[in-house]
Structure 1
Amino acid sequence: MSLRFLVVLVLGTATTAAAQDSYKLEKLNDGPPAGLAPAIKETLEAGGYRVLDPQGAPLVDVWLRKAAPATGEPAGSKGAILYPVLTDGELLGVVKYAAEAGDYRDQTIPPGAYTLRYGLQPVNGDHLGVSVNRDYALLLPAAKDLEPADLPRKKLEQQSAESVGTSHPGILILLAPPDPLPEGPSMVNDQMLNTWGAVLKLPLKVEGKPEPVVLPLQLVVVGAKTD
């Protein structure tokens, strides 16, 4: 089965890739895509990032939120949750796929723009062995996600399922960033997971802090769970 393009965050076992056949990440000066709700668009950074395949073709563009609300400063994981400072249903940013892609379940993601929201994998028998942690980013059709406020779980899952046209949400697994962090925009390859990821920094709004606090993330753009 061929690799499918998706967005997830990868574990620190990944290594920075420098080979000629590697995927690349570059800064994007273009603003967020057209068609976003005004309330969503105004929360996003002015510039984004573009992931290029080994032939230099665009795969997916990413715009992060300027200041994503956080319950506190990042202080590591908590049990099976890597990002306990984030809230279930919270808006993280927007992505725009240049071509048909796939999510972590290998569900088809049509080209277009989607909001990206944080979510936690349910603790039940249906999800045993899916991932080592519970953190996910869920894709929602940008045309239907109109306000940046946190979404309740039921609405989050229902709208996310519309992004892939199935009964299951369109999910992009969130994993830990590499350690140490690369300097500047970088792609990393995790040979164990067979994934490629973009190392990004999400600004957080933390009470009592006058400036945003950075939360490093790794956004995987190639690979899917196959077992």
Structure 2
Amino acid sequence: MTRWTLVAVSCLLLLAASFVAAEDGKLTVVEKAPVGLADKVSAALNPSGQQIAVGGATIGSVWLVKQVEAKADFKPSLSVKYPLTPGQLVGAIEVVKKSEFTDFRGQDVAAGVYTLRYGQQPVDGNHVGTSDLADFLLAIPAKLDTDPALLKMSEAMHKLSAKTSGSNHPAIFSLLPPKPDEKTPALTHDTGKHFWILSLTADGKAGDAAIKVPLRVVIVGV
């Protein structure tokens, strides 16, 4: 192997290493809920959350509620995989400055604090063919969502979420089918779809039974 070949190979290896490093994802535990939540909402959250970084840059942090209320008689369908009620509080997210963060539709999400509520894609002519899965999390500015109680899924709730991105469409994060045996918390990269998937497990209750509720959120990617 010639000297120039060795140099070329070394350069390629360095470029490859740089590319891999740029694709690294990392989770770090944070032990305090974000400032900006209403007291009632903050009290409903587990103070321990996960800070998310991709390529060495911090995007934000996510917290789950202390207890997720799940449907006791739930059976997953082809499109709905989660035993949750549309409008229920699931958690909160804090987006940091200069993160260039977007939702699942590619809408910009400004730095700030938002609640995360469970929602389902409407079954109407406007959403035909957009996604095989109906499960989503909707982000709502924390200052507009001050009570952890169930919100009725309605046009008003969609408008609240739309204020997150300053558009006429709710700010959404897709929920992928859960993997009950997956070790959590985890941040994984779907290289085929260029998704970063945040996997968490929430404490829950279904009827009188204590359960675990695994969640898989597309936190980066459209």
Which of structures 1 and 2 has the larger relative contact order (alpha carbons within 8 angstroms, sep 6+)?
A: 1
Compared CA separation, residues 207 and 76, structure 1 to 2 (3 A): closer
User: Does the CA contact (< 8 Å) of 2:50 and 2:62 recur in 1?
Assistant: yes
Write the distance in 1 (CA, Å) between the matches of 2:101 and 2:214: 24
Equivalent in the alignment of 1:113: 113
Alignment RMSD (CA, Å) = 1.7
Equivalent in the alignment of 2:95: 97
Equivalent in the alignment of 1:58: 58
For this pair of structures, how many residues does the alignment match?
A: 199
Per the TM alignment, residue 79 of structure 1 is displaced from its structure 2 partner at its CA by: 3.0
Give ranges in structure 2 of 5+ residues lacking alignment: 1-19
The residue matched to 2:119 in structure 1 has which SS?
A: strand
User: Does the CA contact (< 8 Å) of 1:27 and 1:185 recur in 2?
Assistant: no
Q: How does 1:36-185 map to 2 (within 5 A)?
A: 36-55=37-56, 57-72=57-72, 77-83=76-82, 85-98=83-96, 99-154=99-154, 155-178=156-179, 180-182=181-183, 184-185=184-185
Per the TM alignment, residue 71 of structure 1 is displaced from its structure 2 partner at its CA by: 1.6
Per the TM alignment, residue 176 of structure 1 is displaced from its structure 2 partner at its CA by: 1.4
1:69-101 C-alpha deviation (Å, 9 max, x unpaired): 11227x662231111x20010100000011331
User: Does the CA contact (< 8 Å) of 2:103 and 2:220 recur in 1?
Assistant: no
Give ranges in structure 1 of 5+ residues lacking alignment: 1-18
Quote the sequence identity (%): 33
Per the TM alignment, residue 178 of structure 1 is displaced from its structure 2 partner at its CA by: 4.3
User: Does the CA contact (< 8 Å) of 1:32 and 1:46 recur in 2?
Assistant: yes
TM-score normalised by the chain length of structure 1: 0.82
Write the distance in 2 (CA, Å) between the matches of 1:220 and 1:27: 19
Tell me the amino acid that sits aligned with residue 80 of structure 1.
S
Compared CA separation, residues 180 and 193, structure 1 to 2 (3 A): farther
Write the distance in 1 (CA, Å) between the matches of 2:51 and 2:194: 20
Structure with the bigger percentage of helix = 2
Per the TM alignment, residue 46 of structure 1 is displaced from its structure 2 partner at its CA by: 1.6
